[in-house]
A = this chain, B = another copy of it.
């Protein structure tokens, strides 16, 4: 390949622009302009604008879900060894930690976070089916593991509380910095490690609420 990084430069520029401006508001000329490649390179390397979006999503989501599954299986295995039910906090951590860790991994993952927020908000969008297809297996396994961790909880109630938990996570991911730019008399910023624990405190208490 004469310029082996053409595909990567397109992926980086598309990730950034899809996140900041949205899929439909981003033109292929904007992408190829920022990537400093020819306009036809997208269709040559990816086929179409939609297939480019799929490639942008897959590049980060596949390894992310692999890590989430690894942490979940690790806790299930640890619980099995010790003949105890899996820990709610550790199960939630399997979902939360790799996600929050995306922050502080550079500009690319930050843009990816924003892009995922857009995809979740799009009820019939292009990337949504792909995203849910990638997420489904983990969510199913997390739900089953959570039923072992909270056997007394009604499954329907557990479903909704997991739903709320995912919402809290995705919302805090979506708003990196100044989402609610209110004049605050203090600085609410937290390092990622503390943010994880703060979020785990909140979700764990909500999942284990009494009624």
A163 to B178, CA, bound (A): 11
A139 to B183, CA, bound (A): 11
A21 to B123, CA, bound (A): 8
B132, B182, B198, B204: the one within 8 Å of A157 (CB): B198
A46 at the interface (CB under 8 A from B): no
Binary contact readout A174-211 vs B (1 if CB under 8 angstroms, 0 otherwise):
11000111101111101000010011011111111111
Whether B195 pairs with A160 at a CB distance below 8 angstroms is yes
A33-41, A61-69, A80-88, A114-122: which one contacts chain B?
A114-122
- Interface residues of chain A: helix, strand, loop or mixed (majority): helix
A167 at the interface (CB under 8 A from B): yes
A21 to B122, CA, bound (A): 8
Whether B164 pairs with A202 at a CB distance below 8 angstroms is yes
Whether B164 pairs with A168 at a CB distance below 8 angstroms is yes
Whether B172 pairs with A170 at a CB distance below 8 angstroms is no
Q: Give the residues in chain B near A198, CB-CB below 8 Å.
A: 157, 160-161
How many copies of this chain does the complex contain? 2
Q: Give the residues in chain B near A202, CB-CB below 8 Å.
A: 160-161, 164, 206-207, 209
- A22 with B125: in contact, given A159-B184, A160-B190, A172-B167 (CB under 8 Å)? yes
Whether B185 pairs with A155 at a CB distance below 8 angstroms is yes
A25 to B25, CA, bound (A): 8
A201 to B164, CA, bound (A): 11
Binary contact readout A141-165 vs B (1 if CB under 8 angstroms, 0 otherwise):
0010000000000011101110111
A93 to B171, CA, bound (A): 19
A106 at the interface (CB under 8 A from B): no
A169 at the interface (CB under 8 A from B): yes
A34 to B187, CA, bound (A): 48
When C-beta atoms are compared, the residue in chain B nearest to A156 turns out to be: B188
B20, B159, B174, B209: the one within 8 Å of A204 (CB): B209
Query: Mind listing 29 A-B residue pairs with CB under 8 Å?
Result: A19-B123, A22-B22, A114-B123, A117-B121, A118-B121, A121-B174, A132-B181, A143-B182, A155-B186, A156-B186, A156-B188, A157-B198, A159-B188, A160-B198, A161-B202, A163-B171, A163-B172, A163-B175, A163-B180, A164-B168, A167-B167, A167-B171, A168-B171, A201-B206, A204-B209, A205-B205, A205-B206, A205-B209, A205-B210
